[in-house]
Amino acid sequence: MNLTIDDYIQNSPEAVRPILELVRKIALEIDPDLTQTISWSMPTFRKNGRNILHFAAHKAHLGIYPGPGAIVHFQERLKEYKTSKGAIQFPFSRPLDRQLLEDLIRFNLKD
C-alpha cells in the first residue's frame, strides 16, 4: 500500500495534525503544482523530479528537511533553531515561523 500525505497526517498525533496541514497549505499556496508524495517515510513536495521539501512530525518538534543548500543560505535566520546538514527542528512549543518556511520553499523552487 502506498501511503499519502493525507495518510501520514491522519496517522500523526491529533495535536500536531494542524501544523502538518499548515505546512502543506503553505507549500501549495506557493506552488499549487508541487507533487505530493511520501519519500524516506516523510511527506515530500517535489517539482520537476526534484525534492523541494520533506517534513515530519517528531515527539517535540516539526522536522523540516530543505536540503543542505537552504540550510547554508539561511544560516543567520536559523541560529535560534537546532539544525544539521539538511534539517531544521521547529519546536512544537513555539509558533511556526511561516515566513521562514515560505522562504525555504521559494529558495528550493528557484535553486
- At the topology level, CATH places domain 5-110 in Aspartate Aminotransferase, domain 1 (3.90.1150)
- Cell readout for 105 is 520553499
Q: What is the mean pLDDT of residues 13-24?
A: 96
Q: What is the pLDDT of residues 82-100, one digit of tens each?
A: 999 999 999 999 999 999 9
In this structure, the number of other CB atoms found within 10 A of the CB of residue 45 comes to: 25
Cell 500523526, located at residue = 12
Q: Are 78 and 87 in contact (CB under 8 A)?
A: no
Question: What is residue 2's predicted lDDT score, i.e. its pLDDT?
Answer: 80
Q: Where are the beta strands (DSSP E) in the chain?
A: 35-39, 42-47, 50-57, 61-65, 82-83, 88-91
Residue position matching grid coordinates 517539482: 47
Domain spans of the chain, in order of start: 5-110
Q: Given a cut of 70, is residue 111 above it in pLDDT?
A: no
Q: Are 26 and 101 in contact (CB under 8 A)?
A: yes
Q: pLDDT tens digits, residue range 47-86?
A: 999 999 999 999 999 999 999 999 999 999 999 999 999 9
Global confidence as pTM: 0.93
* Per-residue cell: 9: 497526517
